[in-house]
Copies of this chain bind each other. A is one copy, B any other.
Amino acid sequence: MKKEIRLLGIDDSPFTFNEKYTRIFGVVMRGGNYLECVLSSQISVDGDDSTSIVRDMIENTRHKMQIKAILLDGIALGGFNVIDIEKIYKDTKIPIITITRDKPDFDKIKTALKKNFQDWKKRWNLVNKGKLHEVKTSHNPIYIKFMGLSIDEAKEIIKLSTIRGVVPEPIRVAHLIASGVTRGESYGKA
């Protein structure tokens, strides 16, 4: 795999639950080194539009044909606006990898969905798409799901795009932008 493959990383902005919408940011990078493009859009907090808006972000960028994989910070944006990673992959034909630093607590997620959403079953089904894998790193392990590529390819993409710590640059940079744009100064890790 070439070190300079184009990757799209996506993360959402910090928000409060008083807000109806939050912004999401995409960055196209060559491997983990060179920023080529910044994308932004808006999704509803706890809504159900993240799949279509992420898909549109991918379909509409002039970089689409160059993007070899989509990296998402977890399976949901804007609270419980869960992304249908299978649909994104089927529609765009671009492999997709979700990454979290903490092991998802599925019991807790299910309880929260049941408590807060009439359509919890639909969201729960989306949460469960793809198998969760633990991936060892030189620091703590990370947890990933993926569609459209093998686990070895997913691991290779993560490795080639991670510079410091365990978060691939396209997600880390999308997080810094989302945080800095919203708060005035970026804080925290993706």
Name the one of B36, B163, B164, B186 contacting A38, with C-beta atoms under 8 angstroms.
B186
Q: Which residues of chain B have C-beta atoms less than 8 A from A179's C-beta?
A: 38
Q: Kindly state the interface size class of chain A when it binds its partner.
A: 20 to 34
CB-based contact A25/B184 at 8 Å? no
User: Closest approach, in angstroms, between the C-beta of A39 and any C-beta of chain B?
Assistant: 5
**Is A67 close to B, CB under 8 A?**
no
CB-based contact B185/A60 at 8 Å? yes
CB-based contact A184/B35 at 8 Å? no
CB-based contact B25/A180 at 8 Å? yes
User: Closest approach, in angstroms, between the C-beta of A187 and any C-beta of chain B?
Assistant: 9
Tell me the bound Cα distance from A33 to B179 in angstroms. Answer: 20
**Is A81 close to B, CB under 8 A?**
no
Residue in chain B with minimal CB distance to A172: B35
| Chain A interface mostly | mixed
**Is A112 close to B, CB under 8 A?**
no
Name the one of B37, B172, B180 contacting A180, with C-beta atoms under 8 angstroms.
B37
Copies of this chain in the oligomer: 2
Residue in chain B with minimal CB distance to A184: B40
**Is A177 close to B, CB under 8 A?**
yes
Q: Which residues of A approach B to under 8 Å, CB–CB?
A: 25, 33-41, 60-62, 163-164, 172-173, 176-177, 179-181, 184-186
**8 further interface pairs, Cβ-Cβ under 8 Å (given A34-B163, A37-B176):** A35-B172, A38-B176, A38-B185, A38-B186, A39-B186, A177-B177, A177-B180, A177-B181
Q: Report 27 cross-chain contacts, Cβ distance below 8 Å, ordered by A residue.
A: A25-B180, A25-B181, A33-B33, A34-B163, A35-B35, A35-B173, A35-B176, A36-B176, A37-B176, A37-B185, A38-B176, A38-B177, A38-B180, A38-B181, A38-B185, A38-B186, A39-B180, A39-B184, A39-B185, A39-B186, A40-B180, A40-B184, A60-B185, A61-B185, A62-B185, A177-B180, A181-B181
